[in-house]
Amino acid sequence: MKAYHEPVLAQKSIEGLNIIPGGCYVDATFGGGGHSKYILEKLGEGRLIAFDQDQDAGQNVPNDGRILFLNQNFRYMKNFLQMYGLIPVDGILADLGVSSHQFDEYSRGFSTRFEGPLDMRMNMAARLTAQEVVNDYPEEKLAELFFVYGELPTAKKIASIIGQYRKSETIGTTTRLIEITGKLAPRGRENKFFAQIFQSLRIEVNQELEALKEFLEQSAEVLKPGGRLAVISYHSLEDRIVKYFVRSGNFKGEIEKDFFGNPITPLIPVGRAVAPSAEEIAQNSRARSAHLRIAEKR
């Protein structure tokens, strides 16, 4: 197994799953297989179903008869678990971060550090790329993406300057996008500014928030009573969605109650959100924004 992705909050997330030897578990975001490795160590004769829409992740699947790897987006988890007759499951883990491999491979266009094509597709068979978003979306829609997905107060100005440049050229590379928008970057906070722009485009290209919502709703359906869900998120948009669903069973965060005043929620939060230790952040800087939330099926 190639360890191309250092798993974040590995021990805490595996502990949170409360793994039963002989159980059936899902790693919804296989990536480099780091979390799966820890699950397999505790699984005994159980079963692990691993999902990842990135074809590159398939290179990291170990030669282990207990694991079934599916090159699919986790938004289709329930369909595939039904197809293989594996519902209900004992636990589900999802690490929502972009893998180190994806960031480090310049040709994927995820990183602000390298020149590469404006691609950002996690599934290379998907149609929409970041180049199409940047060059073809109306300025109003671009501004909305930067404001909602990037939480950028200068979203309209960013969309406007992109609109000016694309009249005379196709904006096709990561470095060209950075050059064009750089004059709007706050001094001393340039890296964060560009990261927010890239995050906006990546979320749109991969429909990340819609997929996350579908995945969470399916998780509540396919888990056994007492089964655990562990989700690691990396920015406030993801974390808010996870937090609200774990707490209330919906994405408004409002707990509904039955006739007797009992909460109608499929999951029970287990403890508070867990952040990485200073030691883990020192070893893996990409862990610094991570939050782990754990829930149990009623």
2 within some domain: no
Angle at 86 between CA 80 and CA 226, to 5 degrees: 120
105 within some domain: no
Whether residue 212 sits in one domain with residue 289: yes
Q: What is the pLDDT of residue 106?
A: 85
Q: What is the mean pLDDT of residues 241-246?
A: 98
Whether residue 174 sits in one domain with residue 31: no
Contact 35, 11 (CB under 8 A): no
Whether residue 274 sits in one domain with residue 193: no
The shares of helix, strand and coil residues in the chain, as percent rounded to the nearest 5, are 45, 15, 40
Which range has the worst mean pLDDT, 34-43, 105-114, 187-196, 218-227?
105-114
Q: Cα–Cα distance between 147 and 208 in angstroms, integer? A: 16
Whether residue 18 sits in one domain with residue 92: yes
Q: What is the mean pLDDT of residues 218-239?
A: 98
Tell me the pLDDT band of 263, cut-offs 50, 70 and 90: confident
Q: What is the pLDDT of residue 4?
A: 47
53 within some domain: yes
Q: What is the mean pLDDT of residues 241-251?
A: 97
Q: What is the mean pLDDT of residues 56-78?
A: 97
Q: Which two tokens stand for residue 132?
A: 């199409």
Whether residue 141 sits in one domain with residue 64: no
Q: What is the CATH number of the domain that holds 25?
A: 3.40.50.150
Of 167, 184, 206, the position where a domain reaches its end is 206
* Residues 193, 198, 204, 208, CA torsion sign: negative
Bridge partner residues of 50 (DSSP): 27, 69
Distances in Å between the alpha carbon of 234 and those of 92, 120, 199, 224? Answer: 18, 17, 11, 27
Q: What is the pLDDT of residue 97?
A: 87
131 within some domain: yes
Bridge partner residues of 228 (DSSP): 91, 296
75 within some domain: yes
Q: Cα–Cα distance between 15 and 274 in angstroms, integer? A: 12
Of 206, 229, 257, the position where a domain reaches its end is 206
The answer on pLDDT for 213 being more than 90 is yes
Q: Cα–Cα distance between 151 and 171 in angstroms, integer? A: 22
Q: What is the pLDDT of residue 252?
A: 94
pLDDT tens digit string along 89-116? 999 999 998 887 788 898 999 999 999 9
**Chain centre to alpha carbon of residue 193:** 20
Q: What is the pLDDT of residue 285?
A: 86
pLDDT: is 51 or 286 the higher one?
51
Interstrand relation of 223-233 and 267-269 (parallel, antiparallel or unpaired): unpaired
94 within some domain: yes
What three-state secondary structure class fits 53? coil
Q: What is the mean pLDDT of residues 65-75?
A: 98
Beta-carbon neighbour count of residue 241 at 10 Å? 19
pLDDT tens digit string along 138-184? 999 999 999 999 999 999 999 999 999 999 999 999 999 999 999 99
Tell me the pLDDT band of 5, cut-offs 50, 70 and 90: low
Q: What is the CATH number of the domain that holds 167?
A: 1.10.150.170
Whether residue 153 sits in one domain with residue 219: no
pLDDT: is 263 or 72 the higher one?
72
Q: Cα–Cα distance between 227 and 89 in angstroms, integer? A: 7
Angle at 108 between CA 231 and CA 169, to 5 degrees: 125
What three-state secondary structure class fits 250? coil
The answer on pLDDT for 8 being more than 80 is yes
Whether residue 40 sits in one domain with residue 64: yes
Q: What is the pLDDT of residue 1?
A: 42
How much is the mean pLDDT over the chain? 95
Angle at 146 between CA 8 and CA 216, to 5 degrees: 45
Domain of residue 242, residue span: 10-100+208-297
148 within some domain: yes
Q: What is the mean pLDDT of residues 213-226?
A: 98
Q: What is the pLDDT of residue 37?
A: 96
Q: What is the pLDDT of residue 108?
A: 95
Q: Cα–Cα distance between 226 and 34 in angstroms, integer? A: 25
Across 196-228, b (16+ Cβ under 10 Å) vs e yields bbbbbbbbbbbebbebbbbbbbbbbebbeeebb
Q: What is the mean pLDDT of residues 32-36?
A: 95
Q: What is the mean pLDDT of residues 283-296?
A: 94
Place of tokens 């403890």: 271
Of 206, 239, 255, the position where a domain reaches its end is 206
Q: What is the mean pLDDT of residues 17-35?
A: 97
250 within some domain: yes
Tell me the pLDDT band of 2, cut-offs 50, 70 and 90: very low
